[in-house]
Amino acid sequence: MKRLLTAVALATTLTLPAHAQNIAVINGKPVPSSRLDALVHQIERSGRPVDAAMREQLKEEVILREIFAQEAEKRGIKAQPEYRAQVELATQTILIRELFNDYQRKNPVTDAEIQAEYDKFLAANGGQEYRSRHILVETEDEAKALITQIKGGARFEELARTRSLDTGSGQAGGDLDWAGANVFVPEFSEAMIKLSKGQMTDTPVRSQFGWHIIRVDDIRQAELPSVDELRPQIEQSLQQQKLLDFQENLRAKAKIQ
């Protein structure tokens, strides 16, 4: 009797791994737990955590998929050309996605690349920032007349509110907030950087938008974020650029007839 019980216990132990490999058996067909693991992994790769409750929901989804897939096979859907065409497209999509994931894993953005990109950002945005105002009008004569009025005692801010074609800044008295010279069109920037704090242009400045009267209210050194603050954005941008270069390189090497 003891030997019989031992044999039964051994047999049960040997069959446990086989059962553990399946999450269910549906209409006699085992559903492997690897399907659930793959679904969990896919969600986790998107950045969402999978807790016990969600895992149970995903398990139910895997079971339903098997039920529906079995029914589709019964109805001969696998033999339909529409099905085969979609399978081919889906296979390509998965292959391409994994190709890109593999490339990015093997070609990560380095700290040196991030620093180099940050240095470019500093070079382009460093230096001085200007707190300026402007009034935009249609003609040079109108701009000259407004300059005369301001020099005669009219308030720049009030004329900006009532006369500027740039209604956005006009409502704020022509205020353009703090900005580096590089954010403006060249004609505007060239005139602005020649002004001292509190100074206004003596003559109208022409750009593609019309005629400007510019006043600089204040000047300061640019306050820029640190490399650590910009690291996520820089890393994402470099990842995208690397992947784009990889895609373009493959396209260039392909023999297309």
What is the tens place of the pLDDT at every residue in 66-121? Answer: 999 999 999 999 999 999 999 999 999 999 999 999 999 999 999 999 999 999 99
Q: Which two tokens stand for residue 167?
A: 């209604």
pLDDT tens digits, 125-150: 878 999 999 999 999 999 999 999 99
The pLDDT mean for the chain works out to: 91
Kindly tell me if the per-residue pLDDT of 12 is higher than 70: no
Which domains does the chain show, CATH number per domain?
18-100 (no CATH), 127-221 (3.10.50.40)
Least confident of 37-46, 59-68, 100-109, 227-236: 37-46
181 by Cβ neighbours in 10 Å (0-12 / 13-18 / 19+) ranks as middle
Q: What are phi and psi of 32, to 5 degrees?
A: -65, 145
pLDDT at 123: 85
Residue 216 near residue 132 (C-beta atoms within 8 A): yes
Sign of CA dihedral 67, 68, 74, 77: negative
